[in-house]
Amino acid sequence: MSARTPTDHGRMLDALDHEVELLVRSADTVPPETVVPTCPGWTVGEVVRHVGSVARAASGWLREGQAPRDWRRAPAAGQTPQAYLRDGVSALRDLLAAHGPAEPAATWWDTDRTFGFWRRRMLHEVTVHRVDVERAAGPEPSPIADEVAVDGVDEAVNLWFGHRLGRMGVTGTRPAAVAVDTAGRRWLTHAGPDGAVVVGGDGAPAGPDDRVDAVVSGAVTRVYLWLWGREGPGSVTVDGDDDAVAQMWALLRLATR
């Protein structure tokens, strides 16, 4: 565990293996052209290939020390999306397992330039899209471990809302502070014309109420998937200004698209 993640990095590779197996198993049950409702315009085959490409991008960052240029390389002739995914994740996992999570590595987040960044980033990439494919295949998605979900909340709020929006030059239209409370933690997000800032989420229990416009709370898995746009508004509890929460949610959609 580090200041950048509430979850032990040592368990992330095992969790990644588990999530990849769930994703492949679900993709095997439906035709690759099956539509994925939570990824508009994408099919199951395209989602699986995308995850395989992201794994190759991560490997490229680690090997080349910068953003790779050919990470969207197409599968080999006759290679299924699932095989393409497995090959990409296997190569990345070997790289990650050969280095401690605290070792320096190139990333796209100045706050965390370590191999641990990629353990975490790939785990959540696979988990979110595993839920997409399972829902497209029909059955209720497999459970997400609470430890993975709370780390995913932290990543969604700090990396995507707190960092990615600024890199994109995207701002809110009005000043608003929204707290996210789950699993005994609190993240306080500020958004407005001057940019986005996040405070907290460092393991301290949700303490005395800060001055906020709204509080989003609920079971940690629900909050995780809601932040990623995979659950509707009824899956979390909103106390306060609905418009402030709507702005936060809309900004996250831009950051994570």
Nearest residue to 195 via CA among 160, 164, 161, 166: 166
- Count the alpha carbons within 13 Å of 149 in the hemisphere toward its beta carbon: 22
What is the torsional sign of CA 73, 74, 79, 81?
positive
d(CA 44, CA 201): 34
Tens of pLDDT, residue by residue, the chain (257 residues): 444 565 667 789 999 999 999 999 999 999 999 999 999 999 999 999 999 999 999 999 999 999 998 766 778 888 999 999 999 999 999 999 999 999 999 999 999 999 999 999 999 999 999 999 999 998 789 999 999 999 999 999 999 999 999 999 999 999 999 999 999 999 999 999 999 999 877 655 555 556 899 999 999 999 999 999 999 989 999 999 999 999 999 999 999 98
- Residue 207 is predicted with a pLDDT of 55
User: In this predicted structure, what is the pLDDT of residue 208?
Assistant: 55
pLDDT at 246: 96
Give, in degrees to the nearest 5, the angle at Cα 20 between 15 and 22.
Answer: 95
Longest dimension (CA), the chain: 58
Domains and CATH numbers, the chain: 9-142 (1.20.120.450), 147-256 (3.30.1050.10)
CA distance 152 to 142: 16
